[in-house]
Amino acid sequence: MKVLITGGAGFIGTNAAEFYASRGDEVVLFDNLSRRGSEANLSYLEKSLGDKINFIEGDIRNRWDIERAICNNRDTDLILHLAAQVAVTTSVNDPREDFDINALGTFNVLEAMRSLKNKCGASPIFIYASTNKVYGGMEDVGIIEKDGRYTYENLPEGINEERGLDFHSPYGCSKGTGDQYVRDYSRIYCLDTIVMRQSCIYGERQFGVEDQGWLAWFTIAQALGKPITVYGDGKQVRDVLWVNDLIDAYEKARQNIEKTKGQIYNLGGGHKNQLSLLESFSLLKSLSGKDIPLKYEGWRPGDQKVCFMDISKAENDFKWKPTISPSEGMKKLYDWVNSNKSEIEKYFPN
């Protein structure tokens, strides 16, 4: 099998490349290397996988870059579209760039696929990494405080895919635009597309920062002795999903394409893998044996007190469920960060 990964030198892309290359698949990485840590990830992949991967430097904002990449790899079986601008705060500061990457960039990839199908009859499976941010603030959902954390009052399984879309930030708008285009290109042009609305993904090779990749950021900050700011009271909750469980979902969805094509799935840890910010600090303290100094500031606009996904549709349609608990995942992440401190420090100068 041949796999093309946009954003292939990013956090999820690197882990996906390892997964597919390790089982003998041909892997093509497409990335502009603009994100923190992407050059380190590419170097890591080239050293560990060698000629099992092929790297193309390009930008999804340039329609000719992505069209050439897809046309020159017309025998591709699977496209994982992971290239994105991923932070809400960045989208607020520079909404045009956010739109160009997430909305226009995704449109460019879809158009390249449509062109390939029209010219060559080739039609790879296409998996799009969307986000739970397309559901917006969910202000109408009742929230209660229980056992030192927030939770939904009447949604024990979490938010399902029937929830209406409500874009509350430029990031939500741009990712939601891509989300709906991907779905509609399946309906109108008969492309085999799948939309994955992802929750908080974490794992190795993640160079997390304060406004994106919070578990990785907390772990890196603790290891490097950098200050950690908590916005709000720390009781806010997310469902967290270890990156290899995410890639397992991608692959199971691919294998069941007759069931999954044209569909949208929530992918997260689900109600069994929720974690509050305060609970993550407790895990870090138990792993490091050190107190975690925290600074508290006010709530950030649009920050949800709780968000976790109902993942039963994915469980039913392609027999997938998470296997790594938050405590297991945090141990793996902690070990990776502390085994690679010298590499990570280069990207987090004082």
> Residues with catalytic annotation?
171
Burial class (CB in 10 A: 0-12, 13-18, 19+), 141: middle
**The token pair that represents 328 in the structure block:** 């297991």
Distance in angstroms (rounded) separating the CA atoms of residues 83 and 93? 19
Contact (CB, 8 A) for 277 and 236: yes
- Which of these, 106, 330, 91, 296, lies nearest to 212 by C-alpha position? 91
Q: What DSSP string runs through 239-269?
A: EEEEHHHHHHHHHHHHHTHHHHTT-EEEES-
Neighbours of 318 (CB within 10 A): 22
Vertex 206, ends 172 and 111: CA angle to 5°? 45
Instruction: For residue 20, give the H/E element and its range.
Output: helix 11-22
With contact defined as beta carbons under 8 Å apart, do 253 and 194 qualify? Answer: yes
Can you give 99-157 as a three-state secondary structure string? HHHHHHHHHHHHHHHHHHHHHHCCCCEEEEEEEHHHHCCCCCCCEEEECCEEEECCCCC
C-alpha–C-alpha distance, residues 28 and 52, integer Å: 9
Residue type, 243: V
